[in-house]
Amino acid sequence: MVSSLDGFIAKSDNSVSWLEGGSVYDAGISISEEEAAAFVKSIDCYVMGSRTYEHALELGWPYGDTPVIVVTRRKWPAARKSVGFYSGDLKTLVDVDLAAQYRNIWLVGGAMLCRRFLELGLADEIRLTLAPVLLGEGLRLFDGPLTEQRWNLKNVVAYKNGFVELLYAAVTE
Count of C-beta atoms within a 10 Å radius of residue 47: 24
Note whether 93 binds ligand NAP by CB under 6 A. no
Binding segment toward ligand NAP, per CB under 6 A, in 39-47, 67-75, 98-106, 163-171: 67-75
Site for ligand NAP in 115-154 (CB under 6 A): 116, 139, 143
Residue 161 found at the interface with ligand NAP (CB under 6 A): no
Based on the shown chain and the rule CB under 6 A, indicate whether residue 51 belongs to the binding site for ligand NAP: yes
Pairing of strands 105-109, 45-49: parallel
**Half-sphere exposure of residue 138, counting CA atoms within 13 Å on the CB side?**
23
Under a CB-based contact definition with an 8 Å cutoff, are residues 63 and 41 in contact?
Answer: no
Handedness of CA 141, 172, 105, 162 (dihedral sign): positive
55 binds ligand NAP (CB under 6 A): yes
Q: What is the binding site for ligand NAP (CB under 6 A)?
A: 1-2, 9-10, 14, 48-52, 55, 71-74, 87, 90, 108-113, 116, 139, 143
